[in-house]
Structure 1
Amino acid sequence: MGEAPRSAGAPPAHFVTGSTLRHVVVMGATGSLGLMAIFVVDLLSLLYIARLGDPVLTAAVGFATIVQIFAVSINIGMMIAVGALVSRALGRGDVGEARRLAASSLVLAVAASALVTALLLPLLGPFLTLIGASPETVPAARTFLWIALPSSLLMALGMGFSGVLRAVGDARRAMNVTLAGAAVTALLDPLLIFGLHLGVEGAAVTIVIARLAFAWVGYSGAVRVHRMVARPSLPAVVADAGPILRVALPTVLTNLAPPVASAFLAHVMAGFGTATVAGNAVVDRMVPVAFGGLFALSGAVGPILGQNWGAGCFDRMRATLRDAALVTGLYIAAVWLALLLGRGPLTALFGLSGAGADLLGFFCLAGGAIWFFNGLLFLGNASFNNLGFPLTASALNWGRATLGTMPTAWLGARLAGPEGAMAGMGIGSALFGVVGLVLAFRVVGVLERREVVTNPDADTEPPSEGQGRAPSQPTGTPLQDATSDP
């Protein structure tokens, strides 16, 4: 998939020196810009559909989004695995291993995406009905997904390339990957939906073209510029499958938990009528726009932790977690204020009324508190996935999606309607968010103690610029320790 590296030496491990706060802010900010661009145009796409004046179509796109999240979650899990493995290899100074792992990971990511798409397409009708789609909503949602869902393979490639770019510290080009998709969407959505009168089908076609741009820009940065993806080979993919899947499978399992929680919440909301479903669809699209920085921040923390673990810089790993938690709090404060001030105009913009308007207004009032704790959980999960404890991330995410969502959302709905369901979900988020961050610090301590026990003379101070060292592996490799309990 790529040519030989330009030089025999490994690219410098950028994150093992300099201010950890600066690394967190730069990687998080650039990631946020790219993600926010995608999410903003995604929200605009829903706005265009809402402007067609049919709440059924708005609800259909909302349900289709929930189904797509399952496929996207697979891609995110594979992207995290790519970033974790490549950044760790670069921290050790082994560029050859990094390039080979990148190539093998991308092949497996596309294969996984193809398998998920093949499984979902024949089951769209029953699945949409299961999560609460009404008979009049299902046909439009199914049409949208038959067009958009196969392009998940392109997204798998684009996200994989983005993971490689983040692993090498090229925040700008990683940002450009998502900006490319956002730009295409912003240009084509109004043209296809209104200009060519394609409606829901036009929105789906736009997604396909945007993901093609997504993959091409990622390829240009990871392969043509950095040459960090080797030419894939079947023997290498087979040999690397074990280490990759030991990170990817628990990570994918982790990322499947949020869509399960969303699907359950959508099912609960469906019991309150079409207006509530439309309001919930708007909230679902607004969440990544408002809090997309948290997704980007957790993605930014992973490579920083991975490189510093590879170099044995445990104090810098703790500093990275502290800095990321601080940035999370400041970010939430700013976004929450914006939501509080904008709840009236947002309700009018999407033409919501009645129960849908009430739900959006409640989200603007309470969303900041809910998502602060979600942000802490994201940081914890990023740590577990990149430091050899992905099963811990899976346990916490599934705990939040089940024990932290289902009983509390159900009870909240019975006591206070749709707003109560949303508040109930927030209560579970608070508990699991705090536990996640506490355990993240504990994981760093576990890794440091292992290093001291197996290599008493090891120096855990930051190495000289561009240099790293491999931490000792007391039980084989970090990946073999992935099932350990922190």
Structure 2
Amino acid sequence: MDAAPAGKTAEQPDPPPRFVVGSTLRHVLVMTATGTAGLIAIFIVDLVSLLYISWLGDPSLTAGVGLATVLMFFTVSINVGLMIPIGALVSRALGARRPEDARRLATSCSILMAVLATLVSIVLLPLLPWILRALGAHGQTLTVAHNFLLIALPTNVLMALGMAFSTILRAAGDAKRSMYATLSVAAVTVILDPVLIFGLDLRTNGAAITINIARVVYLVVAYLFVTRFHGLLTRPNLKGVMADARPFSAIAVPAILTNIAAPAANAFFTSIMARFGDPAIAASAIIDRVTPVAFGGLFALAGAIGPVLGQNWGAQRYDRMKQVLKDALNFTIIYVACVWMILYLVRVPITDAFHAQGLTAELVQFFCQLSGPIWFFVGLVFVSNASFNNLGYPLLSTFFNWGRATLGMIPFAYFGAEIGGPKGALIGIGLGSVAFGIAAIITAFWTIRRLERQASASS
């Protein structure tokens, strides 16, 4: 592996870390914009892939791929949790002007992520029939989902490594190339899906094979960007990997626990909506598809501010760290307000596009009217979690995410449904997010002040 970027000589002084100088707002906006483009591309591609399968005209195929996607989302959530310590540790080392440590950490953490992703696949593969039956699969649907996962699940390690290298790029401030690596997945999927599904008549297996090819391309592109332009990988060393496993796991374990809170919360909310029949379940499904595309900027913001905070912490620029949180807060306000207005204006066309009628259309349109306040406070939790994960307080991230998913959802959604039906459940989610959103952002600013006091006391 390359140890230094091409063209660099020993006589040239090291430039300052990218995020330690310049406008913090610009860094936040650039990182978020590039991250949003990559995320939304993936969300849209996932939707298109399922749309292709639906064109085959067999509901069991669509259901099978849908169930397989549920399980794959779980593995991706674990991978995202494993990405967080890579971004935090590498960006912190770069901010402190310790490039050798950054290279060692990038290499060690990537290896650890690959090993854990492989173990996840090994554990899940023999359990697939049992898990799929527990999810409600049977007959042809079970066969389709099982075959799909047998093809796609073993390459989870390739996806994990690609995500690791993409995170290293973002930690170095190279948001553009990180975005290009992510977009390579979308490009491969859009081109190969129709060829394999329809042209070669591989049907659902063709979609699974496309996933594997896209993961290979993603890994290669991200690796080349990391090694050729940043030199942030070095020859792996077992002793170094073992030493770095401790700080890696200290962030990774709570980050994974944090990430799986969302699927748990969604499962509970679906069970609440199921009490009101299939139309309510259909509305929940449509909302789940609209939400990540509409509010993808908030998901990207959470990933964007981590490297910026990490580098400035390494450089002990606590003033800039506070400003990053303020910039993220202002972005959240403006972004949510704009998306809320758009959703309100297109609420009827959205339901028409999904051919929603009756209660289903009513609930989707009601969500569009209510989405702004809900997602503003959820966005505050996202921003705060990114701060906690990158500044040495990952357990706080776990606390606030699970707190919102349990205390902030279960009683509010349950009693909201009892009082106002499915609309009451939606209102309950919004009310439950308020307290946790406000408490999380206040705590995030407090952690920075505490780090600053600790640094002053030790100097």
Same fold (TM over 0.5): yes
CA distance in structure 2 between the aligned counterparts of 1:179 and 1:24, rounded to whole angstroms: 20
Which position in structure 2 is the counterpart of 1:482?
none
Asked if the contact 1:158/1:215 (under 8 Å) is kept, the reply is: yes
1:228 is paired with a residue of what secondary structure?
Answer: coil
2:194 is the alignment partner of 1:190: yes
Amino acid in structure 2 at the alignment position of 1:382: A
Q: Mind listing any 5+ residue stretches in structure 2 that lack a counterpart?
A: none
Structure 2: which amino acid aligns with 1:43? L
CA separation in 2, counterparts of 1:133 and 1:327? 42
SS at match of 1:18: coil
Distance in 1 (alpha carbons) for counterparts of 2:203 and 2:276: 26
Between 1:128-137 and 1:112-121, the stretch displaced more is 128-137
Q: Residues 275 and 150 of structure 1: is their aligned pair in 2 closer, same or farther, counting only changes over 3 Å?
A: farther
Counterpart selection for 1:281 from 280, 285, 288: 285
Q: Residues 143-163 of structure 1: CA distance to partner in whole angstroms, max 9, x if unpaired?
A: 433333333212211111111
Contact 1:32 1:292 in 2 (8 A): yes
Distance 1:137 1:351, change over 3 A: farther
Aligned 1:159-170 pairs, distance under 5 A? 159-170=163-174
Aligned residues: 455
Tell me whether 1:68 sits opposite 2:87 in the alignment.
no
Q: CA deviation at 1:176?
A: 0.6
Contact 1:63–1:281 (8 Å) recurs in 2: no
Kept in 2: contact 1:132–1:270 (CA 8 A) = no
CA contact under 8 A between 1:81 and 1:248: conserved in structure 2? yes
Q: Which residue of 2 aligns with 1:37?
A: 41
Aligned to 1:223, which of 219, 222, 227?
Answer: 227
Q: Conserved in 1, the CA contact under 8 Å of 2:3 and 2:103? A: no
Aligned with residue 406 of structure 1, among 410, 434, 439 = 410
1:229 maps to a residue whose letter is: L
- The Cα shift of 1:175 comes to 0.8
Aligned pair in 2 of structure 1 residues 363, 122: CA closer, same or farther (>3 Å)?
Answer: farther
Q: 1:79 to 1:29 in 2, by over 3 A?
A: same
> Which residue type is aligned with residue 127 of structure 1?
I
Deviation at 1:269, TM superposition (A): 4.2
Report how far residue 200 of structure 1 moved.
Answer: 3.5
Does structure 2 retain, via aligned residues, the 8 Å contact 1:131–1:267? no
Q: 1:73 to 1:158 in 2, by over 3 A?
A: same
**Which secondary structure does the structure 2 equivalent of 1:189 belong to?**
helix
Question: Which residue matches 2:433?
Answer: 429
User: Are 1:2 and 2:6 counterparts?
Assistant: no
Match of 1:347 among 351, 354, 358: 351
Q: Match for 2:104: what amino acid? A: R
Counterpart of 1:317, as a letter, is: M
Q: CA deviation at 1:303?
A: 0.7
1:110 counterpart (97, 114, 123): 114
Counterpart contact for 1:24–1:324, Cα < 8 Å: yes
Aligned partner (choices 204, 229, 248) of residue 244 of structure 1? 248
Q: Which moved more, 1:125-134 or 1:25-34?
A: 125-134
Aligned equivalent of 1:151: 155
**Aligned residue in 1 for 2:51:** 47
Letter in 2 for 1:81: P
Which residue is 1:395 aligned to? 399
Instruction: Find the counterpart in structure 2 of residue 470 from structure 1.
Output: none
- What is residue 454 of structure 1 aligned with on the other side? 458
Q: Which amino acid aligns with 1:314?
A: Y
**Whole-angstrom CA distance in 1 between matches of 2:298 and 2:186:** 18
Match for 1:102: what amino acid? A
Moved more, 397-406 or 407-416: 407-416
For 2:183, the equivalent position in structure 1 comes to 179
1:265 corresponds to 2:269: yes
C-alpha contact (below 8 Å) 1:113/1:156 kept by paired residues = yes
Alignment partners' CA distance in 1, 2:125 and 2:349: 38
Q: CA deviation at 1:293?
A: 1.0
Give secondary structure in 2 for the equivalent of 1:93: coil
The answer as to whether partners of 1:83 and 1:166 remain within 8 angstroms in 2 is yes
> Is 1:58–1:278's contact at 8 Å kept on the other side of the alignment?
no
Counterpart-to-counterpart distance in 2, 1:423 and 1:453: 46
Rounded Cα–Cα distance in structure 1 between residues aligned with 2:212 and 2:334? 35
Distance 1:116 1:424, change over 3 A: farther
Contact 1:109/1:157 (8 A) holds in 2: yes
CA drift at 1:92: 0.8
Q: Kindly tell me: are residues 51 and 18 of structure 1, through their superposed partners in 2, closer, same or farther at Cα, counting changes over 3 Å?
A: same
- Amino acid in the other structure paired with 2:155: S
State the distance in 2 between where 1:36 and 1:103 align.
28
In 1, Cα distance between equivalents of 2:274 and 2:16: 52
* CA–CA distance in structure 1, aligned partners of residues 248 and 426 of structure 2: 36
Asked whether 1:27 is paired with 2:31, we answer yes
The question of whether the paired residues in 1 share the 8 Å contact of 2:381 and 2:440 is answered with yes
Higher helix share goes to which structure?
Answer: 2
CA distance in 1, matches of 2:140, 2:273: 17
Q: Give 1:177 shift.
A: 1.3
Deviates more, 1:110-119 or 1:268-277: 268-277
Calculate the aligned-residue CA RMSD, in Å.
2.5
Q: SS at 2:295's partner residue?
A: helix
Taking every aligned residue pair, what percent have the same amino acid on both sides? 54
The residue number in structure 2 matching 1:473 is: none
Alignment of 1:312-323 (within 5 A): 312-323=316-327
